[in-house]
Amino acid sequence: SYELTQPLSVSVALGQTARITCGGNNIGSKNVHWYQQKPGQAPVLVIYRDSNRPSGIPERFSGSNSGNTATLTISRAQAGDEADYYCQVWDSSTYVVFGGGTKLTVL
């Protein structure tokens, strides 16, 4: 079965750039989607198909995907960006796979 690996936690200084990785075998050949989940709330889509932002998501959120790693980049990090972030792919054999999630802390 296909697996996605995320770091448990990432810290970033206020106003700096945070990068959250999502590792998977040849993930660059798949479309990767990212969700933000704040405590007590439902997940919200922030990036779809590697690098596309839904309407309403700030330009500070961007994504890339190549080789065995996809990356969610949050520029000019704000306190309001503190949340859990999950990557996700649609795999032909296991249908839907989520990464384990990364807790982003803004210092």
Partner 1 sequence: EVQLVESGGGLVQPGGSLRLSCAASGFTFSSYWMSWVRQAPGKGLEWVANIKQDGSEKYYVDSVKGRFTISRDNAKNSLYLQMNSLRAEDTAVYYCARVRELEWFDPWGQGTLVTVSS
* Closest of 10, 29, 1, 15 to residue 86, by C-alpha: 10
Interaction with partner 1 in 23-42: which residues (CB under 8 A)? 31, 33, 35, 37, 41-42
Beta-bridge partners for 102 = 85
**Tokens at residue 33, please?**
């989607």
Closest contact distance (angstroms) between CB of 21 and partner 1 is 16
Which of residues 49 and 76 has its CB atom nearest to partner 1 in the complex? 49
Q: Does 15 bind partner 1 (CB under 8 A)?
A: no
Q: Does 85 bind partner 1 (CB under 8 A)?
A: no
* DSSP 8-state code for residue 92: T
Alpha-carbon torsion (33, 46, 75, 40), positive or negative? negative
List residues near partner 1 by CB under 8 A: 31, 33, 35, 37, 41-45, 48-49, 54, 86, 88, 90, 95-101
